[in-house]
Amino acid sequence: MHVTAARVLPHGLVKLFMLEYAHTYLKCFRRSVEGDVEHKVDFAGQHETLMHLAVVACGQRLREAINMLKTAAMLSSRAMRFHIFAENQLHANIKATLDSWPAFISLKFSYVVHPISFPRENHEEWSQLFKPCASQRLFLPMILRNVDSLLYVDTDVLFIRPVELIWDMLAQFNSSQLVAMAPEHEEPRIGWYSRFSRHPYYGKTGINSGVMLMNLTRMRMAQFKNDMTRVSLHWNELLMPLLQKYKLNITWGDQDLINIIFHYNPEMLFIFPCNWNYRPDHCIYGSNCVPAEEEGVVTLHGNRGVFHGDKQSAFKAVYQAFEQLVKKIPESSRTFTERSVSIIKAERQSRQAVLLPS
């Protein structure tokens, strides 16, 4: 049965997100406390490929970033390394917060807090592009030179399912693909790029860079076609000339530059479905993300401030629920698990009632 946004917003959609989250969390949670050998995190033994997750948090975005990181850690069953790029004055707060998390979460990951870093000669221009520090993601292949692959997400993203589901998409890349993203929109008639863009963009609706899976090794080695020279350029050679040419025509900063790059190099991009980067655009004019209706949401992306405003009450409610959840997880994990299992069983019995049309 197809579930339209009109039938489940706001309370039904919130309930579905929370049920999906709680069910997935408990499966991963029980593995961690019961010692599931197959999914046990073991940095020394390297039984699993270490997943690298990056976020850039400047100014007032730290609260969002912490919420995102904790949802990632709680749900995942594999070892992760967080790469947190932040202004120097935020470093102590970040470390204190991560170090305060309960052991059953903190044992799943390590972390590195990096300073914000832009090329010296154009530091001011890059740091203020679109939003403070947002364009940092463009330079991750050059900064994290010892990292082979990386999942970058914006601060305003919540994981509803384990990070490894996205990470495993790396194995689906063909020999030409080096980055995976979701389309900016599903419907060209109401898409931003298809209606307002003043520069080239990928495909019919553009791509959204809020959830960006990258093979950094390939990105460093690849040569990219462009409209500035007949010669293909490496990633680090391409960025500044691209900004100089299009800076008066771009609205969304580094995301627009990424769209321009993959407009000329579409064979290098792997497209994943909209439910892997579910945003307000997918339900603001009615539901237009079919995979979300049929398979559920993997990551919830509250761009345009919807986690904190009143225009999208469902997104705000989900964010606040997660924020309270991660604050109140007790150390006595088995008691919490048993209580949550009973809640979920009761909720699943009434789930069909939520989906019935009014």
Residue 35 has pLDDT above 50, yes or no: no
112 three-state secondary structure: strand
The answer to whether residues 298 and 272 touch, using CB atoms and an 8 Å cutoff, is no
Residue 348 has pLDDT above 50, yes or no: no
Q: Sorting pLDDT into bands at 50, 70 and 90, what band is 115? A: very high
Q: Sorting pLDDT into bands at 50, 70 and 90, what band is 21? A: low
The answer to whether residues 212 and 54 touch, using CB atoms and an 8 Å cutoff, is no
Closest CA to 155 of 71, 50, 76: 71
Q: Sorting pLDDT into bands at 50, 70 and 90, what band is 194? A: confident
Q: For residue 20, what pLDDT is reported? A: 54
Q: Sorting pLDDT into bands at 50, 70 and 90, what band is 346? A: low
If you compute the radius of gyration of the chain from its CA atoms, what whole number of angstroms results?
20
The answer to whether residues 184 and 205 touch, using CB atoms and an 8 Å cutoff, is yes
Q: Hey, CA dihedral for 244, 250, 251, 252, is it positive or negative? A: negative
The answer to whether residues 56 and 143 touch, using CB atoms and an 8 Å cutoff, is no
Q: What is the mean pLDDT of residues 302-316?
A: 90
What CA–CA distance (Å, rounded) separates 141 from 217?
8
Q: What is the mean pLDDT of residues 316-344?
A: 62
- State the pTM of this model: 0.81
What CA–CA distance (Å, rounded) separates 32 from 26?
10
Burial (CB count within 10 angstroms: exposed 0-12, middle 13-18, buried 19+), residue 16: buried
Torsion angle, alpha carbons of 237, 238, 244, 247, to 10? -140
Q: Which two tokens stand for residue 77?
A: 């069953």
341 three-state secondary structure: helix
What CA–CA distance (Å, rounded) separates 132 from 126?
9
Q: What is the DSSP string of 116-167?
A: P---GGGHHHHHTSSSTTGGGGGGHHHH-TT-SEEEEE-TTEEESS-HHHHH
Between residues 59 and 3, the one the model is more confident about = 59
Q: Residue written as tokens 């850690």?
A: 73
The region of weakest confidence among 43-52, 169-178, 184-193, 331-340 is 331-340
Q: What is the mean pLDDT of residues 294-322?
A: 91
Q: Sorting pLDDT into bands at 50, 70 and 90, what band is 323? A: confident
Residue 32 has pLDDT above 90, yes or no: no
Residue 343 has pLDDT above 70, yes or no: no
Which CATH number applies to 5-34+48-350? 3.90.550.10
What CA–CA distance (Å, rounded) separates 122 from 124?
6
Residue 42 has pLDDT above 80, yes or no: no
What CA–CA distance (Å, rounded) separates 162 from 170?
15
The pLDDT tens digits for 122-135 are: 777 777 776 778 88
How far apart, in Å, are the Cα atoms of 315 and each of 73, 192, 318, 320? 21, 21, 5, 9
Domain boundaries, the chain: 5-34+48-350
The pLDDT tens digits for 90-110 are: 999 999 999 999 888 899 999
The region of weakest confidence among 8-22, 44-58, 162-176 is 8-22
Between residues 249 and 22, the one the model is more confident about = 249
Residue 164 has pLDDT above 70, yes or no: yes
Q: Which residues contact 34 (CB under 8 A, 6 or more apart)?
A: none
The pLDDT tens digits for 207-250 are: 999 999 999 999 999 999 999 999 999 999 999 999 999 988 88
The answer to whether residues 354 and 20 touch, using CB atoms and an 8 Å cutoff, is no
Between residues 332 and 36, the one the model is more confident about = 332
211 three-state secondary structure: strand
In the DSSP assignment, the letter for residue 328 is S
The region of weakest confidence among 22-31, 54-63, 311-320 is 22-31
Q: For residue 354, what pLDDT is reported? A: 46
Q: For residue 217, what pLDDT is reported? A: 98
The pLDDT tens digits for 257-281 are: 999 999 999 999 999 999 999 999 8
Residue 55 has pLDDT above 80, yes or no: yes
In the DSSP assignment, the letter for residue 286 is B
The pLDDT tens digits for 66-92 are: 999 999 998 999 999 999 999 999 999
